[in-house]
Structure 1
Amino acid sequence: MAVSQVSRAATAPGGIQGFIASDRMVLALLAILAVAVRFVTYGNPALGFDEQFYLLVGDRMLQGELPYVDVFDRKPIGIFLIYAGARLLGGEGFLQYKLVATLFVIATAWLIYLLGRQRAERWGAGLAAALYILWLNLMEGEGGQTPVFYNLLVVGAAWQLFAAMRSPDRLVPPGTLALLLIGMALQIKYTVVFEGMFFGLAFLWLAWQQRMAWSRLIAFAAAMVALALLPTTLVLLYFWAVGEAEAFIFANFLSIFGQGKGSMAVQLPKLAEVSALFLPLGVIAWFGRAALQADMRRADSRMLRLWVVTAAFGVLIYWRFNSPHYALPLLLPFCLLLAPALDARRRLGAAIAVIVLLAGQIVQLHLIAIKGGNDAMRAVAAAAKPKGSFIFVYNGYPGLYMMTGSPMPSRWPFPGHFNAQDENNPRALGVDPLAETQRILDASPDAIIDTFPPYSLGNRETRALLHRVVAERYRPVLCVATRDRTRVIYRLKREPWPVDLSACRPEVFAPVRP
């Protein structure tokens, strides 16, 4: 009797077989996959310097400080609000923001699957969503980089567009909602503007095809533009209300024009590296080209291809390839595009997925070996802990300010603002980096954190100043070595502090010897 009850439960519409045959199982598998492939990152506070900085700013916001006013950066406020929200979850924040990012990844992959099901079977759509999750680990999207968050809003806008294409007599509600989502995405990173223009023009094209009256078409366009600009306008109005509109405008819209982008000799090899990461996806497209050509007969597929082209244009026009995460906006529509090809070439798609799964884990372990993991960052923090003053992270983990409880030495706490040649311009920062570095060093920070070898594209002027001051007033107390770099902690010579230089190579101190 018990066996028959189990059998009926398994075959019932809501039983095990019903679950296996439903989209709920796909969602569960995507969630398990996302957690599994990102699990190695959860205990690593040293994961990404950008993410450490976003968490630092989010933490300072909860203490009443304002981005752009008290802490300088060029990112829109949305990314800092997300990290402030993660900080409210308790703990140190490093694990919490990664869990929030994982939820965004799962939701994005789920929408990729649902959109893929409109053009492919469950296998192709599910594998397209899985490839998105897996590829993030190859492109520094394993944590909380900005595209990990805003890609969810962009795919939400795409959902509205494709829904409107199926019901062209009902364009205004999905069009306005799509552009509002784009507006929210713009407050995470402004480079979404190109995809926003694409979605807006796509809706206007649909309206034109439906012979919408000119007066209504103009009103529709104005409404979409207004909603896309609404979140940014509200943020600007807030800063205007508190008397800091100038700081907001400079950081968000003007400072980028003073920032360097590196020479062609620097960027072109990096572009080649980023392009190589997409080659396996290109292999799927090539061997599944018959399915993709057949898919071209669908209007939504042709629109999807235009989205891919727009995303690629946005990546190229930004012209920064120092990190592969700059190309993550292209990953989203590209994976979605491949759903029919993945149906047609199931074994190939599955084989590439397994290879990328393993490669992604290897990449994560490699990054830990290079940047250092939990033990390395906590060792640096212990040796750098301030005793009544503050620390200065010239080149190293920006999360040390949180981990040590140190006040920030400047409105510019991100190390790259002082140690990178691209930032060596008052028009980029609103301050002369050499003068600000001098001001910080004149205040005698308790500890200075530097990295050897120095950044190859670094600011030579601030580096020379730092080495001169260190040689005069500081001594090394600890080296924390990773695979190809060494974090060096210097403390004031007059301060008694235990010294352990066992991990220090002689060449580390050559530039700072008096």
Structure 2
Amino acid sequence: MHVLTNSRLRLPLLILVAIAARALTFGNPVVHVDEEFYFVTGSALWRGMLPFVDVWDRKPVGLFLLYALPAGLGFPAGIWAYQALALASAVATAWLVARLATRAGFAAGATAAGIGYILWLGLLGGQGGQSPVFYNLLTIGAALLVLRGGRAAGIAAMALVGVALQIKYSVVFEGVFFGLWLLADAWPRTRRPLAVLTYGVMLIVVALLPTALAAAAYAAIGQGQAFVYANFLSIFHRNPDPLGELAGNLGQIVLVISPLVALAVLALHRAEATRERRFLALWLGVAIAGVLVFRPWFDHYSLPVLLPACAAAAGMLGRGDWQRWRTPALLLTAALAGQIVLVALRGERGDARQFAALAQAVGRGPGCLYVYSGSTMLYVASGRCTSSRYIVPSHLGRTREAGATGVDQDGEIRRILAGQPAVVVMRPPYGGERPQARALAMATMATGYRLAAALPMGNETISVYKRAR
């Protein structure tokens, strides 16, 4: 176990583990539907299209700006680029997890904690470029600055939180916790309520500044209302998923993350209480609470919990009796399970070869594309124009989104089909789909389109319809 306790080997070991853990995803444009859409929107930015105005979604604009960097390389080079960026972010985050574990007095298990972070990413939907893969790096950077203490470090920490908020707004829970911790730290030094209050206001302003600048930019072009609705209001109009589906999602998260959380709790309980360990314990509670608040509990929603959980779990992973066989056995089991998950997901969602065949069937000719349901990555692969600002199929097709997108779903589908897109792509019926939406699309396919191809994509057959001449 010398390798796991040698800090000089930590970074190269984390890089090797990350490459091995994620290699099956490299170059695959259909790793996850979310990443496909982020890449499509990043590509749209280069054509002058604006999120919330020309391409609708609830994610902050910072996430799309981040994806615009690799998307600028085009397809397929940009796919490799965003996955390389995600790999680098995962490794850097794991390295900082190890730094945090060391600071908490768990140095012997720090490298194992970093490896655990990388491996559990793949078990919880973070095998590609999900938003937490990127904002977790900012969050843990902020956490280390918070623990450093001092006014300048506190302001820098909240600046990182502010940038992270523009990748995913759920970081607000960690941001509030970090801010309160900084204020509690500041009180003994000053004992002046006004000084602490002024400092608190400054921290809030710094954290909210990136979001305020984004809102101001949209307001300046007359799109302030579109920004506010998409970013802050529409989420409250979304309908809940069936209880059984919610319970299944939450159960999956609990099953996968519970070993790390249990180790973290056990380590913190057995170790002597210190400032850093109290911080980890409180942060772990806040992160778990943040997951529980946001339904429908997709697996990647729990990725922020990995930061405090892995850092604290180092207290158990580094124990002498654990390092003899329990720690390597746990990490090897997670590594094997991660590869099984990747193979299973590729079988379910498809791979680069299948996607290439589907993109060829869609073709690059004139006329717009309408992905009624299926892969939005077809827009960039085919180079065809979009038929609506509602590119995410579920925004128009799912019951969950009824009344939550600012548009009448059936009315928008009718408008799209009335525009006679050159190509329409449809996957088979899926759970949560509105039957009336599919009926609208199929009625048009029956009268004005021909089935040009029916190709496998994972465990489904995707239909490609082309307008009849």
CA contact (8 A) 1:260 1:422 kept: yes
Contact 1:385 1:391 in 2 (8 A): no
Q: Which of 3, 7, 10 is matched with 1:26 structurally?
A: 10
Partners in 2 of 1:43 and 1:239 — Cα distance? 34
- Map 1:149-168 onto structure 2 (within 5 A): 149-164=134-149
Matched, 1:114 2:84: no
Q: How does 1:386-425 map to 2 (within 5 A)?
A: 386-425=364-403
Matched position secondary structure for 1:488: strand
Task: Answer yes or no: is the 8 Å Cα contact 1:108–1:155 preserved in 2.
Answer: yes
Preserved CA contact (<8 Å) 2:350 2:459: no
For residue 70 of structure 1, what is the aligned residue in structure 2?
A: 54
> How big is each residue's C-alpha offset from its partner over 1:119-154, in whole Å with a ceiling of 9 and x where there is no partner?
345440001110000011111101111100110111
1:385-433 Cα offsets, whole Å, 9 max, x none, are 25321111111100100000010110111111122111122xx111111
Instruction: Report whether the alignment pairs 1:432 with 2:373.
Output: no
Residue identity in the other structure for 1:71 = V
Of the two structures, which has the highest relative contact order with CA contacts closer than 8 Å and spacing of 6 or more? Answer: 2
Using the alignment, how far apart are the partners of 1:115 and 1:285 within structure 2? 13
Cα drift, residue 264 of structure 1: 2.5
Instruction: State the identity as a percent.
Output: 37
Partner of 1:136: 121
Post-superposition shift, 1:89? Answer: 4.5
Query: Following the alignment from structure 2 to structure 1, what is the Cα–Cα distance between the partners of residues 369 and 75?
Result: 22
Match of 1:42 among 26, 35, 44: 26
Structure 1 residue 489: deviation in Å?
1.1
Three-state SS of the structure 2 residue aligned to 1:465 is helix
Task: Tell whether the 8 Å contact from 2:365 to 2:384 is kept in structure 1 after alignment.
Answer: no
Of stretches 350-359 and 259-268 in structure 1, the one that deviates more from structure 2 is: 259-268
Change (3 A) 1:91 1:319: closer
CA RMSD of aligned residues (A): 1.9
The Cα shift of 1:189 comes to 0.6
Asked if the contact 2:423/2:465 (under 8 Å) is kept, the reply is: yes
Provide the rounded CA distance (Å) in 2 between the counterparts of 1:410 and 1:217.
Answer: 49
Q: Which residue of 1 aligns with 2:426?
A: 450
In the alignment, does 2:206 pair up with 1:227? Answer: yes
Aligned twin of 2:306: 331
Number of residue pairs the alignment of both structures matches:
464
Matched, 1:473 2:448: yes
Cα distance between partner residues in 1 of 2:179 and 2:229:
27
1:237 counterpart = 2:216 = yes
Q: Is structure 2 residue 286 aligned with structure 1 residue 310?
A: yes
Does the CA-based 8 Å contact 1:119-1:339 persist in structure 2? no
Is residue 2:344 matched to residue 1:366?
Answer: yes
CA distance in 2, matches of 1:298, 1:74: 40
Who is 2:237 aligned against?
258
Which residue is 1:177 aligned to? Answer: 156
Deviations 1:140-198 (A, max 9, x none): 1011111001101110111012212xxxxxx2111111111111110001111111100
Q: Is the 8 A contact 1:138 1:359 kept in 2?
A: yes
Give the drift of 1:475: 2.4
* 1:57 is aligned to 2:36: no
What is the deviation of 1:364? 0.8
1:355 matched to 2:333: yes
User: Which 5+ residue runs of structure 2 have no aligned equivalent?
Assistant: none
**Which residue of the partner structure matches residue 511 of structure 1?**
none
CA displacement, residues 348-381 of structure 1 (integer Å, 9 cap, x when unaligned): 1211110111111111111111111001111111
Matched, 1:249 2:228: yes
Residues 211 and 350 of structure 1, relative CA distance in 2, 3 Å threshold: same
- SS of the aligned residue for 1:224 comes to helix
1:503 corresponding residue in structure 2: none
- The answer to whether the 8 A contact 1:479-1:488 is kept is yes
Match of 1:196 among 162, 169, 175: 175
Contact 2:268–2:281 (8 Å) recurs in 1? no
Q: Distance in 1 between matches of 2:468 and 2:272?
A: 70
What secondary structure does 2:103 align onto? coil
1:420 maps to amino acid: R
Task: Kindly indicate whether the alpha-carbon contact (under 8 Å) linking 1:386 and 1:446 is maintained by their aligned counterparts in 2.
Answer: no
Cα deviation for residue 216 of structure 1 reads: 1.3
Partner Cα distance (1:70, 1:457) in 2: 26
SS at match of 1:137: helix
Task: State the secondary structure of the residue aligned to 2:427.
Answer: strand
Kindly provide the CA deviation profile for residues 173-231 of structure 1, in whole angstroms up to 9, marking residues without a partner as x: 11111111111110001111111100001111112233432221111101000001100
Q: 1:267-306 maps to which residues of 2 (within 5 A)? A: 267-282=246-261, 284-285=263-264, 289=266, 291-306=267-282
Judge which range, 129-138 or 32-41, deviates more. Answer: 32-41
Match for 2:463 among 474, 488, 505? 488
| Distance apart, 1:310 and its partner CA | 0.4
Q: In structure 2, how many angstroms separate the alpha carbons of the residues matched to 1:331 and 1:122? A: 18
Check conservation: 2:454, 2:462, Cα contact below 8 A. yes
Summarize the Cα distance change of 1:305–1:282 in structure 2 as closer, same or farther, 3 Å threshold.
closer
